[in-house]
Each structure stands twice: as structure tokens, then as C-alpha cells.
Structure 1
Amino acid sequence: MADQDDTAHYDGPAGGWGSLKGIARIFGEEWNSPAVAETLRRQNKPGGVMCVSCAWAKPPSPHAFEFCENGAKATLWELTSRRCTPEFFAAHSVSELRGWKDHDLEQQGRLTQPLRYDSGTDRYVPCGWDEAFRAIGEELRAIAPESAVFYASGRASLETAYLYALFARLYGHNNLPDSSNMCHETTSVALKRVIGAPVGTVVLDDLSTCDAIFFFGQNTGSNSPRLLHPLQEAVRRGARIVTFNPIREKGLESFVNPQSPVEMLTGRETRISEQYHQLRPGGDIAALLGMCKHVFEADDAARREGRRVLDADFIRQHTDGMAAFEAKARATGWDAIERESGLSRAAIEAAGRVYAGAERVVAFYGMGLTQHAHGFENVAMLVNLLLLRGNIGRDGTGIAPVRGHSNVQGQRTVGIAEKPELVPLDRLAAQFGFSPPRAKGMNTVEACEGILSGKVRAFVGLGGNFLRAVPEQAAMERAWSGMRLTVQVATKLNRSHLVNGAVAYLLPCLGRTEEDVQAGGPQAVSIEDTFSHIVGSLGRRAPAGEALRSEAAIVAGIAKATLAPNPKVRWDEWVADYARIRDLIAETYPAEFHGFNDRFWQPGGFYRGNSARERIWKTESGKAAFTVPEVLSSVGFDEAPGRYRLMTLRSNDQFNTTIYGDSDRLRGIEGTRDVLLINPEEMRRAGLEEGQSVSLVSDAADGVERVVAGLRVLPYALPDGCLGAYYPEANPLIPLSHHDGPSKTPAAKSVPVRIRAGTASAG
């Protein structure tokens, strides 16, 4: 691997003045009012507004400023003074706007009026709410319910998500894909199968009592910077942190706390990871198996001295399948482990020694584990490691998937699920007097397949930027206009709004930071954080426009226009007072949400529980399951000359498909997103020069031409055989068929590609 001096990099720590400058830049660009400062002061605090970006915990005893650079940017982005009015659409055709960049589309500001696409003029034109609801209802009634898809991004509240899922089932389908299908569905499937709970077992307090923390494929500084505060505290009290990631993540290297005057004035930084292992993309199974192999060998040595490294009592009482897994680990040679992981035996054993020597271990991971063709095996292998020493179901231990969207986990909790077995359908039937559909619905990949085949006739999007986030973008955009109806609920304009069905509506909604006044007065909403705590949120800012409606009101308006009257379904009453929706949620999910209205304002929220944390294993065997990996690489394709493993990346100047600007400060990349990251040795082997313009082409061997052109070669410290490029710009290279098997999560962290060289850039 190249020396960092030969590559693009950032010399400073995460946090510090760089973070404050990043916030200040967005504040200036968005022309926000001074009232924004009051929103940020209340953000993620008891009684305040919950961040609209990531799902990190809302602590009961918050810092003075309980927001990070990303969270502040998301709030500033939502509270912009810019407005995207009907006059803007009168001046620009939809065809013209398709040529704009993602950033420039959202820079037009907040949508202010409901809009209908007029194909004759190729423009969005204003319409009334009643007109929109009536037309959408007529279109939905005219098609078979199973041919409609109701997609949800991860930002809608629990109240809105519950109504949306109920609407879908009253209408007659379980086609409820959401953004989780594109990122952490692997988690939901794998954890459910091996420990019986589909979400992480860690709570925030565990970070103050653990002895070691392991990270796999999670870019903390870019995607969840508030995690850096408890990491810094953990290091200072002696906890050891070990990171596995193909790319150097600045936040897991060093951190300066922006809330510490001493650190800000002196530049004193905290080293976060004591070991940082840049394994190959897809090499996690091999690295984890190597660590487990070391633990078995360490246990052999300890037994000769009358001790144990394995938690034999826990394994005997609480697990199943240990013997087969141990045999696999012992039989797998170090040569194979080193080859597939890209790490030396010494490096893996060094990590294994930290694990074996720690009494309490927490393991964090992100999409670097989930978004692979064998992502299930990645997650299951991490569980194997934790089970060896009883590191699930004790304080200071557990597995912790880091969720992205602020309520993506919560939406699944209250019914946004294509799998009917995950939803208490019998209870819904009794509550609302109907027969819920029992057939499995479409997840995101299946919805895309249905759109491509013409099976899907209508798409309703509750937030998000679906067309920009999914694989197979070129084919998807071509097929999209074949649908009869497309409806998008949004705060700002994005790419997905510019490709429409025969009938199309763009419906503007309130943001979470804004005051939501209904017939019953100002309304609060709730969300679930990544640690399964339910937290209240209250917006206080003036809405961006008088015509805006809440997401809950929009869902109810479409539902009323679509469905036959049902005396047990009282849309108007529910929208008038969201507390009534919370009562419905408590009735449907009594174990988790009993006393919902009385509990969701408590500081830090209330914990809805996790059976695996209590060592109650709701698995097929009634115990936590060891699994035996059938592969050592999770990429799902073979090595070949000229074939690379492409990782799609997010910058610290974006949140999912929202692009705040062209600054990736933590990687030392400024002014462009059209880059191809590659290490200098690989550059030389491929005959490439820094700054050269190249294309990436799919090497999926399926006969489909997929190309992303105009990328500038940039030397970067990556493992051999792999490349990096930004998401969503690189998404067109991902075949729809390239996904994890059990979960169908797109494999965006290991895409087979080749480089097609062009000419050197002039600058």
C-alpha cells in the first residue's frame, strides 16, 4: 500500500475547527434566519426536535450542543430560506431539470405547493390538495392493489409510518419496501435468524462499561459523528478500539471535540483506534474467522494452565452449532485467511488478542458488512465472534448496527414491512374490521424488478430519492415512465421527481423542525433511535409555506380518497390528534408500546426492549446460533485480470442522496465528486496518471453495458484490487441482480468493474 504522502488525505482530526467551518459554510449558503440557532440548541434534547439525519441516540443528559456537523447541515438544509415555487417550474421544463446536478436541484429550496405533471408542456403545474387526492384515489382504485408499491424513506415519524402501513393493507397489499432494504435489511434477516432479534442489542450505556470496541465497515466521522464523543470517553477510561475498514476513516483515527474549549484552542486530539486494519473489500469473513481461530488457539493454551478463554458455560447453555463452527475455524488454513482478508496473520492475531483479553466487548458495523453478495455471512460471522466469549446479553457487550435515516428502524417496528410474518395482522384485523393481505409483498429489489417488467403500475414514495438510490439506474429510469401513476411526497426537489408516470403528483410536506398544527392543536411526533429507544420530537419553526401539509395528513388524504368508508378507520380524528395514533400503535404492539403517550417524552426516550439482550433467543432452536461460513469472501464474484472491487462511498458533505456540496474534507478531496480513488501502485500497474479522465464499466458478465464516465483518477490509500467512487453517482454500475441472497440488499460495497482509460485531464 502507498505511503499517505503519495495520496489524497486529510492531515487534521475529525471534529475540531474543520467541523465548525463545514457548518458555517452551509449556514451561509442556505441564508438561514437566526431562529435556526434556537432549533439547533433544542436538537436531540428532551422536549426538543430530533435530528432529521442519522438515528444516533438522544441521551437523557445531553451536551450543551447535542448535534454533529452532519446533523447541523441537515437542519440548515431543511430550514433554508429558499423556496421552490410554481414560478420556478413555469420557467424550467422537467426535461431541462434532468440535466441538473443533485445538489443544484435541492438548492432551489423548499417546495411550497402541490404540483401535477403536465405532459403537454413537460412542466409541473400547481394544483389543489383536493384535486390531487381525488385523482390519486381514482388511479389507485382503477388498478389491482398488488400492482402498487408504497415506498418509505427513513425519515417519516412512527405516527406517519403506522398510518402508511395501515393504508397499504386496507388497500390490499404488503408492497412496503423502504430504505432499510437498501442498507440494513441484511441486519434484520441475519440477526433475526441467529439471535432471534432483528436489531442491535446494545444501548448507549454499554459504551461506558465496555472494555473493547470493534468496528467493521462503518465510517463514523462521515456518517455518525456524535458517536465520536462516547468513543473519546471510552478511550480515556482505558477501553481499546480496533477497526477493520478498507478505507481510512478519519473519525476512527483521531478526534478533537468541538465542545471542548481546551481541545479547540490547543488542537489536542484523542487517538481513537489503537489498531486499524485496512482489509480488502469483502474480506471480513476471513478476518473474523481468523480472529475466531486465534481465540480457539488461545483457549487451548489457557486450558493447559487451568483457565478458559471461551465462555464455556454461556456456549453450553445459550448456543447451538458450536462444534461445526469450531471445526471449520480450526480446519481453515492461515494462507487462505490471509489471501482473502488481505491482512497478515500477525495483524489478525493482534486484533484477536485484544478481543480475547477484554471482559466486555461491543461490536459496531455499517454497510461495509451488509452491502455485499454474502452480507448475511458477514453479519453472522461477527455474531460468531461475540458468542465465543458471551458478548451478547450482558451489560457493556453486544452487537450494534449503526443505522442511517433517523427513523428507518422505527418504521419497520410499526409495520413498514413487506414480510407479513413480521406484522401482527390478526391484531390489525380485529382493530380495524378488515382482512389484511397475507401474501408477501415486494422489497426494494423486487419492486425494481416489477417496474422493469411492467408488473408495477403505481409507485407512491413517502420521502426519499428512490430512483437515485437504487441499482440499475439507467434501465430503471427508462422503465419508470411505463407506470400509470407516480406520487412523491417531499420537502425538496430531487432527481426522482423528474421521471414520471403517465399521471404524476409532487406533494410538499412539512419538515420535522416545523410546527405541525392540526385541528387538535400543535402536534408532536416520535422516532426510534439505533438503540431501540422511542423519543418524542416537537418542531417549532414556522412552516416553509402556508399550503404545506404534514406527512400524516397527506397519507390520510390519499387514503380517504382511495378507500371505502370504514367506521373503525377514522383518518380525520387521527390526524387531528397524533396521540390517538400513538394509542393505536400501543394497541397493535402492546409489549413494546404500552403507555406510549405517557412515556415517549421521558429524557432519552423509553426502551422498547430486545429479547436477545435478555438472553431469550427467539430462534428456531431456542438458542443463539453459530453458523458455518461457506465462503471466505463476501463479494460474490471471482478474481480476474483487470477486474476490480468497487466500493461506493459517502462524503462528509452529504447525507444519503442529499449532496450539501463538493467538499469531502475528511478525505482531503475538494471541488468535485467525479473522482476514482485508487492506490498509486494500482495506478502504475494499470498505466494511469493522476488527473486522467477514465470511465468505469460493469464487469458483471451479464451482457448489460453499464458505464459511469468522466471520473478523475485520484491516488488514495486503498488496498490492492479495489477502487472507490461516490454514491449515488456510481450506482448505475450496480446490477440489480448483485445483492445479498437472503435479504436482497444491493451489494454496493463490492461491485465488479473495469477501468476504461481516457486521456489526461488538462487540470
Structure 2
Amino acid sequence: MTDTVQNPESEGPSGGWGSVKSIARIIGDDRPSPMILEELARQNKPSGVMCVSCAWPKPVNYHPFEFCENGAKATISDLTSARCTPEFWADHTVSELRNWKDYDLEQTGRLTHPLRYDSATDRYVEVSWEDAFTDIGRTLKSLQRDSVVFYASGHAGLEASYLYALLARAYGNNNLPQSSNMCHETTSVGLQKVIGSPVGTIIWDDLEKADAFFFFGQNPGSNSPRFLHPLQEAKKRGAKIVTFNPVVEQGLVSFVNPQSPVDMLTGRETQISDKYLQVRAGGDIAAILGLCKVVIEADDAALATGASRILDVAFIAEHTVGLESFIDLVRSTDWPTIEMESGLTEDAIRRAGDIYIRSERVIGVYGMGLTQHSMGALNIAMVVNLLLLRGNIGREGAGCCPVRGHSNVQGQRTVGIAEKTKLIPMDRLKALFDFDPPMEDGVTIVDAVKGMMSGKIKATISLGGNLVRAVPDQKAMELAWAQQDLAVVVSTKLNRSHLFPAKKAYILPCLSRLERDDQLSGAQAITTEDSFSHISGSLGKRTPASAYLRSELSIVTGIAKAVLDPHPKLKWDEWTGDYSLVRDLIEATYPDQFKNFNERMFQPGGFYRGNSAHERVWKTEEKKAVFTTPSQLNALTFDDADGRYRLITMRSNDQFNTTIYGYSDRFRGIEGTRDVVLMCPDDIQDAGLSEGQKVTLVSDFRDGVRRELAGLTVTEHNLPRGTIGAYYPEANVLVAIDHHDALSKTPASKAVPVRIEL
């Protein structure tokens, strides 16, 4: 086994002409506004608009074109010329549309009018905003307060998000699950436990000073391509990059910078990863423990010879607890066990460990390849263990870097969209708005879905997103969603969550972030938070796709006025007319993080709201950073067995979350289909299969429920033995709602037990 890889399936490096061609194809499909180039030029600039896709920061020193392939696709999608008007429903029933692919629903274009489901005709029909709000309010008033869920997708700005959380609490519950429940809630809970901060610890300047980056289960090529620019700069100055990932992700193999004329004209590639180790799905705990073993062995040798210590003993003594127990486990765990659990050789791990030892400043980067496991929080604790050994948290050029996948998913949590009451300054809300906020914790996504299945949850308001498609146990969820008394989805386009209407169902169309938002005080700006805890303003300029669209904030306040009794401190109309008043409320609620909010919102690079762990202030129970002694060496809650595989659900290069832009996954060499199961050649042979054969994947989660995904084509791919792959969200049907991280309840979608049937 080698510790560097190539990607034979890829059509070429990330970036480069492949990105340009992919963007051109999307332009041809969507036929966007002629102003698309102007919008892309404004994207992620200080006076422009924050990208509507991922949460990568706006840099102070930005490129002429500060957008990536996925950001361009998201922008093109929002500015499409296609329109899904009420007339669309004259030719299509809801039942018929259930047979459509996600891509085909996306291609119907922007929604233009508020819609109400009519069960007599099985169609959505146009409804006025006033009638929609009145009926929604009447229905919510009739329901028990704890039977209603207020879900948020991670897209809406801080202003709408703050008021949405206020609406839920004024209504009477903390049922505020959010899309992070399905991706990075493990970060919020896991990091909080060990370093006292629920988010990553680095800032932009750290990227420019790091000596090494260690990647675990993160794919910048498809999920955060702008990350590749600082990685390329890091390689030029001699920094090392080490990657642990079951899948060979092209963005971490090689990159051609589209911003560089020389690179584009010559095809000059930058090799990104110095070492690429294909760990088994769920094997990161053992791999990281192996890295720690290399460090501790080197420190033992230094101590014995009187050489300089490898561990940062001063940092450990002052800032940490728990090292002794952790070291005892590391020393007692032998290399054959580490090799078996990780799927890596001792030699490969030692080579990676040597890079870690030789690097003064290290950033640990991770994504959902770590968070979406049954023991995901333990995965994250192990990354922290590795960083703590050499003091790599809380100093320049070093730290923990979870990469968020949605533009404001972190910010929504910051301003109150959270189901845990301990995260919310309830005393300030009480003082500001003169009401008693509910003090009982609300539901997570897992709790909400199970509540719908049991009939306990009667209504869901969804501020964006495609919840029915995004959650585990899709088939059961479709039935449960439709059994509710009310389902309201705020959307820009049609998606599968609209196709299983509740007894009362509404689609409320909203503005895109790119579109002009005119209210009583004039054009409104909104703000978002990036993965590095910086707050930035966005100002839309494009003409709205329809005169009937409303902003997300306006929709929130419209529902609030319909469901809540008038209250002198709840000034919904004033807040709708002037979003700066909402920012004043955010500052009053979170004064330490949002001081002078309105004055700083367009500061180049965004303003930093702070991070205690970045300053080496540890807000843990122990008041120090915590070394965690792992209870097991894999992130699974099931054992290996004959015929059982570890399924990774994965995203294509041609999608963003549940939004499918096309059928070209050029980095994996898959064109024209998403109905595939990826397997290594040895697994195909041992299973008695052949490439191109049609098979069915069946869940092997032992709860007595039959879950299957049929019609998949066996496709050879470079994966570790026993690890197979299929596309998200289609493969969500195989994920049991009870298969989740033990601490955060994040669905364990990166190691799903499955079998293959013919």
C-alpha cells in the first residue's frame, strides 16, 4: 500500500478548463440573466454579495473573480430565466411529479407566486399572501405548541434567522432544528466538549502562516473550491498537505488555478497532497491514534536522549487535562491493531506523522467525513488530541478548521436558531421583548422526524431547504410529512418536499440573496457568518424573478403577525421596513460578539465575532482543553460481517446539497447517471459481480425495517476494501433514522451498514 495516490477516474485536475466547461454547460441549461457576469464579479467582495452556496470566507485581499465552480452554478441557478408559474400546475399533478428526478424539478425554474395545495385536484393553486398567512396563523393557533417544528436550512441571513427564532419562542417552543443537525452538529457538540467552542478556531491569517494542513474527510474540490487558492499558495511557500480520506478527491490531488493565465494556458498543475492515505470508512480514530503514537514515541526518544521535546509540555501543563490516560492507551495499542482498524500501513502513518512532527504550525481540517458517523464526536476529539500534543490550537498558523457547507449555517446558530436552551441568552430575550421564553429544550432533526412518524409533530415550518429529501429514512419520512396538519416551505424552486403535501400545504416563494430587497426604508442588506466566525454584509441588486416574491424576513414576520397576539415589544412591521433595527436587536442580545454591528457589516473580510479557544480561553467544564481517551478505535456501532459493506453517501461535482445541477461527476469519471454503486475491483470480484451489473443495496441496520435502493450499476472505483459509495440524497433511503452520532444525533451517513442483492 502506498501513501500517495492518483485519481485514474478523474477527467483532469480540479479547477482549470474543466470548471470553465462545467459552468458553461450550466449557463446553457439555465439561460440566466445577461447580468450573470456582473453578479459573479460582485460575489464575495466587500460591497457585493456573499456566495449563496458554501460558507468559505470573503478574503480581504480578494481575487478579481472571487468565486468557484459551485458558487457560479448556484448563482446561475438563482438567476435562471426559467419560471415555475401557477400555470405549470395546469399540466402537472403532484402525484405525477413524484416520478420526476431532482434535476428535472430544479429545471422548472424559479417559483413566482405563493401556492396552496388543493387535494381535490392534486395540484398547487395560486393564493394571496394575506390568505396564506391567515390560514397558516389560524392553524398554528389551534395546535399544541410543542407539536410544531420551526426548521431552518442554513441559507437565510442573520436578520431573518434572528426573527425566526424569536417567532418560535414567542409562539411557545424551542423546536428549532437546523440543517447543521444533519452535517456539523457533531462539531457544535464535540468541539464544545473538548475546547469550549462550538466552531473552528482559525482565522484567515492562519492559512497564510501554517506549515502543514492535515485533512480528514473533507473535499474542497467539490464542496469548498475557493479553499484551493490558499492551499496552492501554501504549497508554493513549502507547506505540506496530508490527506486522510477513503475517496480519492481530485481537489486534494491536483489543481489548475483558473485565476492564473499561465496555469490555464500551460495546464500547469499544483500537486496538493504530499501524502494521501485512503483510510477505511470509519477508521479515522485508529489512523489519528497512529499519528499520535508516532509523536509520543518520538517524544519518548527525545526525553531519553536529552534532545528537545516533541510534545509542547509547557502548553500541555498550562492548558490541558487528561493526557496521562490518553498516552497510556496510545502506548498500549499495538501497530497491527491500528493497521487493521484504519486500513493503513504502519509505514504510511509514520511518514504522515513525521510531517506533523517537523511542522511547527499545523491546521487540522475536517468535514462530514468525520462528523457523519455513529462515533463522530470521538472522531473530532481525536483531531483535537493530535493538535493539542504540540500546542496547535490558539496560536498563529495553527488550529482546528471544520469546513461548513452552507452559506449561513453557522450564523443561524449564533443568533438563536438552536433547540438547546443553554445556548440562548433567555434573560436578554425576556428583558428585550417582555415575555417569558420557553425553557424546555426543543427537538433535533432526528427527534422531529421520529415525532412526525409517531404523529406527535403536527406541523412544520421550513425556512428554506428540502427537508423530506435530506433526512434519513426517506420513504418513511415522505409518509410522515404528508400526515401533518400543516407543512409550510419557504423556497426559491420546486423540490421533493413539496410533493408530499400535508393536510394543509403551502409553498411560499422568496427572493434570492442576489435580488433587490426593497422595503419601506429602501434597499435592504443582509448579513451572514462564514466558517471562520466573520460576519459580512450582502446587498442584492438584481430585479426579482417575480413581483410576488417576498424576502425571507418578510415571510417570517408575516407568519408572526398572523399567529401571535399583538405585543408592543414585537414590532414586526418596523423590523420588516428596516433590517438595521433587527441588527440592533442582535447586538443587544449578543453585545460581546456584535458590537457596532451596523457600522462594521461591510468591513473588508468581514468582522470577527471572536472565539474563546482561539485565545486559549477554554470554556469547558474543566476550564481547560481536554484530551479524550477513545473507548474504541473505529467510529462505528456495528461490526464487520461477511457480505456487509460500509456505505459512504457522497456528493457529485454537479450538485450542492440536495440541489442537482446535472449528471456530470467529472472528478469520478461518471457521466449521464447517478444510479451507481462504486466498489473497488477486488470487492466486485469477491462478491461474484461484474462491472455494469445492476444490483440492489439493502440496509443491514438491524431494526427489522426493509430499506433498499434498486437499479444501481456496479462501477469500479478506487476505494478501500469493504468501503462502497453511492450518491446522496438518493441513498438516504438506506440510512435509518436511529443510525446517528451518539452525542449530537447527526445521521451517520458516512458508514452505513449495507448488503448487496441481485
When normalised by structure 2's length, the TM-score is 0.99
Distance 2:725 2:493 in 1: 28
The residue aligned with 1:116 is: 116
1:264-303 matches, cutoff 5 A: 264-303=264-303
Distance 2:302 2:90 in 1: 76
Q: Judging changes above 3 Å, is the alpha-carbon distance between structure 1 residues 7 and 259 closer, same or farther for their aligned structure 2 residues?
A: closer
The residue aligned with 2:325 is: 324
CA contact (8 A) 1:6 1:680 kept: no
| 1:384 aligns to 2:401 (yes or no) | no
- C-alpha distance after superposition, 1:570-613 (max 9, x if no partner): 00000100000000000000000010000111100100000000
1:61-80 matches, cutoff 5 A: 61-80=61-80
CA contact (8 A) 1:321 1:627 kept: yes
- C-alpha distance after superposition, 1:342-392 (max 9, x if no partner): 000111111111111110000100000000000010000000000000000
- Structure 2: which amino acid aligns with 1:631? Q
Shift, 1:459, TM fit: 0.5
CA contact (8 A) 1:2 1:679 kept: no
Any gaps of 5 or more consecutive residues in structure 1? 758-763
Give the RMSD, CA atoms, in angstroms: 1.3
The residue aligned with 1:596 is: 597
Distance 2:8 2:163 in 1: 47
Distance 1:672 1:189 in 2: 37
CA contact (8 A) 2:4 2:277 kept: no
- C-alpha distance after superposition, 1:414-445 (max 9, x if no partner): 00000000000110010000000000100100
Q: Judging changes above 3 Å, is the alpha-carbon distance between structure 1 residues 238 and 5 closer, same or farther for their aligned structure 2 residues?
A: closer
Q: Give the 3-state SS of the residue equivalent to 1:687 in structure 2.
A: coil
The residue aligned with 1:659 is: 660
Distance 1:245 1:300 in 2: 29
Distance 1:710 1:520 in 2: 55
CA contact (8 A) 2:32 2:79 kept: yes
| 1:137 aligns to 2:131 (yes or no) | no
Distance 2:641 2:585 in 1: 55
- Structure 1: which amino acid aligns with 2:220? T
Q: Judging changes above 3 Å, is the alpha-carbon distance between structure 1 residues 61 and 292 closer, same or farther for their aligned structure 2 residues?
A: same
Q: Give the 3-state SS of the residue equivalent to 1:590 in structure 2.
A: coil
The residue aligned with 1:760 is: none
Distance 1:214 1:2 in 2: 18
| 1:605 aligns to 2:598 (yes or no) | no
- C-alpha distance after superposition, 1:168-199 (max 9, x if no partner): 00000000001000000000001001000000
CA contact (8 A) 1:4 1:717 kept: no
Displaced runs of 4+ in structure 1, greater than 4 A? 1-8
- Structure 1: which amino acid aligns with 2:569? K
- Structure 2: which amino acid aligns with 1:135? D
Shift, 1:306, TM fit: 2.8
- C-alpha distance after superposition, 1:307-339 (max 9, x if no partner): 100000000000011111111111111111100
Q: Judging changes above 3 Å, is the alpha-carbon distance between structure 1 residues 681 and 6 closer, same or farther for their aligned structure 2 residues?
A: farther
Q: Judging changes above 3 Å, is the alpha-carbon distance between structure 1 residues 7 and 264 closer, same or farther for their aligned structure 2 residues?
A: closer
Shift, 1:4, TM fit: 12
Shift, 1:476, TM fit: 1.0
The residue aligned with 1:761 is: none
- Structure 1: which amino acid aligns with 2:394? G
- Structure 2: which amino acid aligns with 1:458? A
Shift, 1:33, TM fit: 2.4
Distance 1:661 1:372 in 2: 28
CA contact (8 A) 1:151 1:462 kept: yes
- C-alpha distance after superposition, 1:41-92 (max 9, x if no partner): 0000011011000000101121000000000000000000100000001211
The residue aligned with 1:164 is: 164
CA contact (8 A) 2:374 2:635 kept: yes
- Structure 1: which amino acid aligns with 2:345? S
- Structure 2: which amino acid aligns with 1:440? D
Distance 2:33 2:571 in 1: 38
The residue aligned with 2:261 is: 261
CA contact (8 A) 1:2 1:717 kept: no
| 1:615 aligns to 2:616 (yes or no) | yes
Q: Give the 3-state SS of the residue equivalent to 2:593 in structure 1.
A: helix
Any gaps of 5 or more consecutive residues in structure 2? none
The residue aligned with 2:202 is: 202
CA contact (8 A) 1:140 1:562 kept: yes
Distance 2:161 2:33 in 1: 31
Distance 2:32 2:483 in 1: 40
Q: Judging changes above 3 Å, is the alpha-carbon distance between structure 1 residues 691 and 4 closer, same or farther for their aligned structure 2 residues?
A: farther
- C-alpha distance after superposition, 1:526-584 (max 9, x if no partner): 00000000000001000000000000000000000000111001000001000000000
| 1:342 aligns to 2:347 (yes or no) | no
1:431-446 matches, cutoff 5 A: 431-446=432-447
Distance 1:194 1:4 in 2: 32
The residue aligned with 1:742 is: 743
| 1:21 aligns to 2:18 (yes or no) | no
Shift, 1:305, TM fit: 3.1
The residue aligned with 2:37 is: 37
CA contact (8 A) 2:462 2:490 kept: yes
Q: Give the 3-state SS of the residue equivalent to 2:536 in structure 1.
A: strand
- C-alpha distance after superposition, 1:684-732 (max 9, x if no partner): 0001111101000000121100000000010000000010000001000
The residue aligned with 2:726 is: 725
- Structure 2: which amino acid aligns with 1:613? H
Distance 1:126 1:567 in 2: 33
Q: Judging changes above 3 Å, is the alpha-carbon distance between structure 1 residues 259 and 59 closer, same or farther for their aligned structure 2 residues?
A: same
1:363-512 matches, cutoff 5 A: 363-512=364-513
Distance 1:209 1:177 in 2: 37
Shift, 1:2, TM fit: 12
CA contact (8 A) 1:281 1:635 kept: no
Distance 1:117 1:140 in 2: 17
- C-alpha distance after superposition, 1:276-300 (max 9, x if no partner): 0001000000000011011000001
- C-alpha distance after superposition, 1:28-47 (max 9, x if no partner): 11111221110000000011
Distance 2:110 2:34 in 1: 18
- C-alpha distance after superposition, 1:392-433 (max 9, x if no partner): 000100000000000000000000000000000110010000
- C-alpha distance after superposition, 1:446-498 (max 9, x if no partner): 00010000000000000000000000111111122211000000000000011
Distance 2:568 2:443 in 1: 29
Q: Give the 3-state SS of the residue equivalent to 1:694 in structure 2.
A: strand
The residue aligned with 2:86 is: 86
1:301-316 matches, cutoff 5 A: 301-303=301-303, 304-316=305-317
The residue aligned with 2:235 is: 235
Shift, 1:7, TM fit: 9.0
- Structure 1: which amino acid aligns with 2:309? R
- Structure 2: which amino acid aligns with 1:279? V
- Structure 2: which amino acid aligns with 1:584? L
Distance 2:537 2:260 in 1: 28
CA contact (8 A) 2:6 2:253 kept: no
CA contact (8 A) 1:165 1:415 kept: yes
Shift, 1:744, TM fit: 0.2
Q: How many percent identity over aligned positions?
A: 64
The residue aligned with 1:213 is: 213
CA contact (8 A) 2:202 2:400 kept: yes
| 1:707 aligns to 2:708 (yes or no) | yes
**Most deviating of 297-306 and 728-737:** 297-306
- Structure 2: which amino acid aligns with 1:660? Y
Distance 1:294 1:3 in 2: 16
The residue aligned with 2:51 is: 51
Distance 1:575 1:628 in 2: 50
CA contact (8 A) 2:7 2:250 kept: no
Shift, 1:3, TM fit: 14
State how many pairs are aligned: 757
Shift, 1:6, TM fit: 12
Shift, 1:103, TM fit: 0.6
Q: Give the 3-state SS of the residue equivalent to 1:610 in structure 2.
A: coil
- Structure 2: which amino acid aligns with 1:408? V
The residue aligned with 1:568 is: 569
Q: Judging changes above 3 Å, is the alpha-carbon distance between structure 1 residues 259 and 537 closer, same or farther for their aligned structure 2 residues?
A: same
Shift, 1:668, TM fit: 1.0
CA contact (8 A) 2:7 2:253 kept: no
Distance 1:406 1:10 in 2: 27
Q: Judging changes above 3 Å, is the alpha-carbon distance between structure 1 residues 668 and 4 closer, same or farther for their aligned structure 2 residues?
A: farther
Shift, 1:500, TM fit: 1.3
Q: Judging changes above 3 Å, is the alpha-carbon distance between structure 1 residues 546 and 600 closer, same or farther for their aligned structure 2 residues?
A: same
Distance 2:405 2:95 in 1: 32
CA contact (8 A) 1:7 1:679 kept: no
